[in-house]
Amino acid sequence: MRYGIGQRQEQQTGLGVRVDPRVILTSQLLQLASTELDSAIENELMENPALERLHDSSEPLTRETILRSIAPSELRPASEDFEFHRSLPQGSNADEADWLDFAATSDSLSDHLTAQLLPKLPARLKSVGEYLIGCLNERGYLTVSVEEAALDCGCSLEDAETVLRRLQRCEPRGIGATTVQECLLLQLQDVQSLEGKLARAIVRHHFEDFRDRNYRPIMRRFRVLTEVVDEAFRVILGLNPFPGESYRTGNAPQDRSAAAARPDLAFHLHESGWVIEVMGEQDHALTISWAYRRRQEELRRMPRPPQGEKQHLGEYIDRASRFIEAIEQRHRTMRRIGQALLEHQPGFIATGEYRFLNSLTRTQLAEQLGVHESTVSRATLGKFAQLANGEVVSFEVFFKPALRVQKLIEEILAHENPNSPLSDERIAQMLAERGVKVARRTVNKYRDRSKQLSSRRRKSA
């Protein structure tokens, strides 16, 4: 028996598919929402020295800023009035900040409440007021019970309750509550209008019905029409459930609508026509570093350039070029989708009314644009669009014609006579009168989906 090592050479041929890195990068950026795209761009700017922003997002230089640096004498007052000159800062400390400059600075929630509450309290209860203010969280809610406050401060329960009531009368109203319901009631405490009184009663006795947008028990108890309940709901929705948040940073109150979903595409209707805006398009303007381009040209003219530096420049410039092309391709795709949606859903985009939604699928949109259906899916999945009326909706709405039927059914049920509820057959007839033909069982399905009771149960409810 012989042992040995053999060696053999083989050659195999085959076919393989190699995906262009540009295509992969374009697909990856296309499926990102605007907030995710911002993060991806910031990461690429930090990792790739050859990539730069095309413009600076900071405030442009003003004439005063330039003169202050190169010709400060031009900014000196020209007045000859003695009192005017005497009031100007003098000496070597003229440019130093004075404490009076900060007198108008917004205070914190604690400072704001301390200035209101403590002057109204007797000396023996000031420590209780300070304790309760210190027990407020950043939203303005009290984190301890009044019994705990009395025990910790060594005062009677009546004194602690008195201080708490005075705290709850401070601005912003709603401070010192322990629940959202109590916070809203504090804000409605002094409202005297009819809608305000109804709103106060709804929050006190029908808070769950308000939360579920259930009109019927409220209409039945207070014997009012749907329009009156709508007005009361608007009053409640106009309140601030977190009154302390406006003082979180000591700045002006924050706009709660800013917490809404950030749109990736916006439709604007002007006198000259429609304008489709890809959000962040100007902020995402990128370019290749001029210093890198110049150095690359210098290396090309050298007879023997340093290979390491040449490779470094080439790799990063190519990477920056691919990234810029992918960003531009994303903007073009989003804009084309916006134009196609405007052709198919002009009524809904203009008004936000779901009754104007037309039947449209992603496949139909992809065929119109001449792209693959997956491209439309990547461009719209998890993203939002801003309509002409300012409402922000998910892209899913444009591809769900059944949503139109469901919204129409909800609208019909919201305006029906509670003493004579509409049957599913009658609702189907009313939909047919509006140009929407559906079967009775379809009405039943959409009614169940929106958690609406049957006509018999609605009447007995």
- Using H for helix, E for strand and C for coil, what is the string for 9-49? CCCCCCCCCCCCHHHHHHHHHHCCCHHHHHHHHHHHHHHCC
- Are 286 and 388 within one domain? yes
CA distance 237 to 199: 10
- Are 278 and 380 within one domain? yes
Q: Is the separation of the CB atoms in 352 and 401 below 8 Å?
A: no
**Start-end of H helices in 48-136:** 63-70, 82-86, 109-117, 126-134
Query: By three-state DSSP, how is residue 285 classified?
Result: coil
Which are the contacts of 387, defined by CB distance < 8 A and separation ≥ 6? Answer: 267, 348, 349, 350, 351, 352, 393
CA distance 214 to 141: 27
Averaged pLDDT, groups of 10, the chain, 461 residues long: 55 56 82 84 88 64 56 54 50 45 56 84 87 84 83 85 88 86 88 84 86 82 83 85 68 42 86 85 77 87 85 88 91 92 89 80 89 87 88 84 70 72 77 71 67 58 50
Residue 186 lies inside a defined structural domain of this protein: yes
Which are the contacts of 218, defined by CB distance < 8 A and separation ≥ 6? Answer: 202, 206, 209, 210, 224, 229
Query: Phi-psi region for residue 390, left (φ > 0), alpha (ψ -120 to 50) or beta?
Result: left
Domain end call among 399, 426, 442: 399
Residue 59 lies inside a defined structural domain of this protein: no
CA distance 458 to 222: 17
Residue 30 lies inside a defined structural domain of this protein: no
Residue 123 — φ and ψ, nearest 5°?
-60, -35
Angstrom distances, CA of residue 279 to CA of 43, 51, 141, 224, 362: 19, 21, 36, 44, 22
Residue 248 — φ and ψ, nearest 5°?
-60, -40
Q: 10 Å Cβ neighbour count for 239? A: 18
What is the DSSP annotation of 338-378?
Answer: HHHHHHH-HHHHHH--GGG-----HHHHHHHHTS-HHHHHH
- The domain spanning residue 151 has which CATH number? 1.10.10.1330
Beta strands in 234-367 (DSSP E): 265-270, 273-278, 286-288
Q: Looking at residue 142, what DSSP letter applies?
A: B
Tell me the angle at which helices 146-153 and 157-167 cross, rounded to the nearest 10 degrees. 120
Q: Provide the residue range defining the domain that includes 424.
A: 402-460
Residue 348 lies inside a defined structural domain of this protein: yes
CA-based Rg of the chain, rounded to a whole angstrom?
Answer: 33
Domain end call among 243, 276, 306: 243
Helices and strands (DSSP H and E) totals, the chain: 22, 6
* Sheet architecture: strand order including 384-386: 273-278, 265-270, 384-386, 392-394
Residue 418 lies inside a defined structural domain of this protein: yes
- The domain spanning residue 451 has which CATH number? 1.10.10.60
In sequence order, the β-bridge partners of residue 267 are 276
Residue 55 lies inside a defined structural domain of this protein: no
CA distance 239 to 183: 9
Q: Identify the CA nearest to 461 among candidates 408, 411, 413.
A: 413
- Are 198 and 269 within one domain? no
- Are 217 and 302 within one domain? no
Residue 350 token pair: 């203009």
- Are 276 and 353 within one domain? yes
Residue 3 — φ and ψ, nearest 5°?
-110, 140
Residue 264 token pair: 């990736």
CA distance 31 to 329: 12
- Are 435 and 456 within one domain? yes
100 membership: H or E segment, kind and range? none
- Are 376 and 271 within one domain? yes
Angstrom distances, CA of residue 3 to CA of 6, 7, 249: 10, 13, 82
Residue 282 token pair: 């100007």
Q: 10 Å Cβ neighbour count for 189? A: 13
The structural domain count of the chain equals: 3
- Are 387 and 414 within one domain? no
Residue 64 lies inside a defined structural domain of this protein: no
Residue 90 token pair: 């003098």
Residue 438 lies inside a defined structural domain of this protein: yes
Domain end call among 377, 399, 421: 399
Q: State how far Cα 125 lies from the chain centre.
A: 43
Residue 337, pLDDT score: 93
- Are 134 and 224 within one domain? yes
